[in-house]
Structure 1
Amino acid sequence: MRNHVQTQPSSKIPFRPRKIRRLSSPSKSLPPSAPSIPLIPRAIARPLSSDGEIELSLRHLRSSDHSLVSVIDSLAPPSFESSSPPFISLTKSILYQQLATKAAKTIYGRFLTLCSGGGDGEPLVSPETVLGLSAQQLRQVGVSGRKASYLHDLAGKYRDRVLSDSSILEMDDEALLRVLTTVKGIGVWSVHMFMMFSLHRPDVLPVGDLGVRKGVQLLYNLKELPKAVEMEEVCEKWKPYRSVGSWYMWRLMESKSNKALAPVEKV
């Protein structure tokens, strides 16, 4: 028998059609040495930080998946606030990898000081600044040699115009996953977290995240931890708001363990 989360009365949320914006490919060409990344015009959904988008997502999830209703009604709605530009977010993602939050914050603070020369932190972090830092300088503030190489690879792709903040914002989820995983140290999970918590993309399903998988197993009373294919099948009904459904899976597991499972840092 599945354990149900205690429900609270829900308010009615008016529905309105979702808006999409169509973006064209950038006209700038890449240097001969850089690989070409075709940017086919796609329909990109409004980010979850847009006015009213969270309300629309909750309306959809309540109507499409009755198993989620009690979870949604027992918790405060998610908040996807404004975040740093893509380059800074990706840099922070690399630095935070496999570290406890407190240690990661300390190293990131030292990194910002190094980049700014004691100045105003994040606004001074740029590909040029990162490329100007040696591996030795980065090690002195606690960045491992491996992560230093990851940062230099990311910054190098910006320098060579393989990546840019504007191109990242214009790519659809599939293209973004394909391109960002060519950066050393950035895997599928990191891209999923970046799309959800930095770009606020509404329809990301992190099939490899243990917390989300455990939440799905608990919610649907599955005998085994679902694998990627089963995650796609079970969570199909959440589209086009799988990011929000995933967020509730983290919260569901937290309510059972009193332990934070989802990234809470703004990346």
Structure 2
Amino acid sequence: MAANRILRSATQPVKTAATLSSEQRAEEAGLRRTSVPKEKRVRPALKRKPERELQTSPKRVQITTPIKQTRHGPLEVTKGHASSTSSLDRPAEPYRTNVPLVTPKGSHLVAYSKDTADMSPSRTNLPRPRTTIGHILEEACAHLVTMEPKLKSIIKQHHCRMFSPEGLTEECDPFKSLASGIMAQQVSGAAASSIKRKFVGLFQPHPTYKEAEDDLKFPTPEQVALCSIPFLRQAGLSERKAEYIQGLAAKFANGELSAAMLVNASDEEIMEKLTAVRGLGRWSVEMFACFGLKRMDILSTGDLGVQRGMAAFMGKDVSKLKAKGGGKWKYMSEKDMLEMAEKFAPYRSVFMWYMWRVEGVDVNVVEES
């Protein structure tokens, strides 16, 4: 039997490369490479979608364009809701704007991006950021307590939301904030809110002189600059306030003022530029820098609430000081206020906020406007 098997094997033709067809050779080579049949071979993995397409929540989508270089330093230009452009590790600096600023076209500008935070100040024209928005309030409070231990109890009693991580992720529309501040001058909070809603209503597709809904879009500087004074007055504005707001709009429309300038300019530059606008005095600009831009080293010595709080914190009888009069500086002199607050730099905005709280001053109206 063994002889028969040998004989049959010898009589069968031997397969060589010469006797195999091209298809047979390919199949033979494939069988040698793998023993997996064709129908069971694993298909190659599908091409992975770009990361941007894998985002599931539209509120957290972030689309960042290349960094834009201006004479005020590099800016991170983003589109979308402010919360998507601001994470807790976004760089922060007390002497610069710490919230995203909204442009008329809907982009958001921030002073520092993660890519530019470590750049040399000679390249960015900015001080190197010393912390992040997630830690700046904590560091500010620690500095205040180190300089003045008596502040510890006040800080524990009152949470400063405006400089908290939550507060620093809120966006600011500079034109809207400044125009709203002008509307609120010398009127009650309720009256200011009513005027603002009527003002917004004038610029809707079907203009109305009645109060508009709170969620309607505020007009752009270009829209307001083209309006006549009588038209603006239909919102309940005085003629002078209508002129102030129209003039403010014109400066934003022609580029003399811009979000790009306000996000990175120094405190002194902002004061100089904005006080040159009719209707914006020093106090108005200080409140905008503090509540709007969230700058950390602002001290409004002309604010009576701050004066009263500082005087009370020093142990003075505020009621007696008020009775004596004294005009603008009835509670403390400007010189004394500056000397007292000097040690709290670069966090004098936070110190000022707590001085308001010492006397129970309601700052919500200013913050909301």
Whether these two folds match at TM > 0.5 is yes
Partner of 2:29: none
Q: State which drifts further: 223-232 or 141-150.
A: 223-232
Partner of 1:7: none
Cα distance in structure 2, aligned partners of 1:227 and 1:262: 26
Secondary structure of 1:69's match?
Answer: helix
Aligned mate of 1:154, from 248, 252, 259? 248
Q: State which drifts further: 169-178 or 82-91.
A: 82-91
Q: Contact 2:95/2:296 (CA < 8 Å) preserved in 1?
A: no
- 1:52 and 2:135 correspond: yes
- 1:144 and 2:238 correspond: yes
- Residue identity opposite 1:92 in structure 2: S
Cα distance per residue 1:24-46 (max 9 Å; x no partner): xxxxxxxxxxxxxxxx9342867
Aligned mate of 1:110, from 198, 202, 212? 198
Number of equivalenced pairs: 229
Q: Contact 1:196/1:243 (CA < 8 Å) preserved in 2?
A: yes
Structure 1 residues 168 and 188: alpha-carbon distance in aligned structure 2, compared to 1, 3 A threshold: same
Partner of 1:84: 172
- 1:236 and 2:319 correspond: no
- Residue identity opposite 1:53 in structure 2: I
Cα distance in structure 1, aligned partners of 2:140 and 2:256: 33
Cα distance in structure 1, aligned partners of 2:188 and 2:279: 18
Cα distance in structure 2, aligned partners of 1:249 and 1:22: 20
Q: Contact 1:64/1:238 (CA < 8 Å) preserved in 2?
A: yes
Structure 2: unaligned runs, 5 residues or longer:
1-90, 97-123, 207-211, 322-330
- Residue identity opposite 2:368 in structure 1: K
Q: Contact 1:212/1:246 (CA < 8 Å) preserved in 2?
A: yes
Q: CA RMSD in A?
A: 2.7
Cα distance per residue 1:166-207 (max 9 Å; x no partner): 111121101100110000000100011000111000010011
Partner of 1:69: 152
Q: Percentage identity across aligned positions?
A: 34
Aligned mate of 1:43, from 99, 119, 127? 127
Matches within 5 A, 1:193-212: 193-212=287-306
Secondary structure of 2:162's match?
Answer: coil
Structure 1 residues 212 and 124: alpha-carbon distance in aligned structure 2, compared to 1, 3 A threshold: closer
Q: Contact 2:95/2:266 (CA < 8 Å) preserved in 1?
A: no
Q: State which drifts further: 221-230 or 113-122.
A: 113-122
Q: Contact 1:21/1:44 (CA < 8 Å) preserved in 2?
A: no
Q: Contact 1:83/1:266 (CA < 8 Å) preserved in 2?
A: no
Secondary structure of 2:127's match?
Answer: strand
Q: Contact 1:67/1:220 (CA < 8 Å) preserved in 2?
A: no
Structure 1: unaligned runs, 5 residues or longer:
1-17, 24-39
Cα distance per residue 1:59-86 (max 9 Å; x no partner): 1111111221221122233334214311
Cα distance in structure 1, aligned partners of 2:200 and 2:188: 18
Name the TM-score, length of structure 1 as normaliser: 0.77
- 1:187 and 2:281 correspond: yes
Matches within 5 A, 1:15-54: 20=93, 41-43=125-127, 50-54=133-137
Q: CA deviation at 1:106?
A: 0.5
Cα distance in structure 2, aligned partners of 1:21 and 1:226: 26
Cα distance in structure 2, aligned partners of 1:44 and 1:122: 38
- 1:128 and 2:222 correspond: yes
- Residue identity opposite 1:266 in structure 2: E
Aligned mate of 1:98, from 178, 183, 186? 186
Q: Contact 2:176/2:218 (CA < 8 Å) preserved in 1?
A: no
Q: Contact 2:195/2:235 (CA < 8 Å) preserved in 1?
A: yes
Cα distance in structure 1, aligned partners of 2:131 and 2:225: 31
Structure 1 residues 133 and 19: alpha-carbon distance in aligned structure 2, compared to 1, 3 A threshold: closer
Structure 1 residues 44 and 167: alpha-carbon distance in aligned structure 2, compared to 1, 3 A threshold: farther
- Residue identity opposite 1:246 in structure 2: M
Structure 1 residues 22 and 91: alpha-carbon distance in aligned structure 2, compared to 1, 3 A threshold: closer
Q: CA deviation at 1:264?
A: 4.6
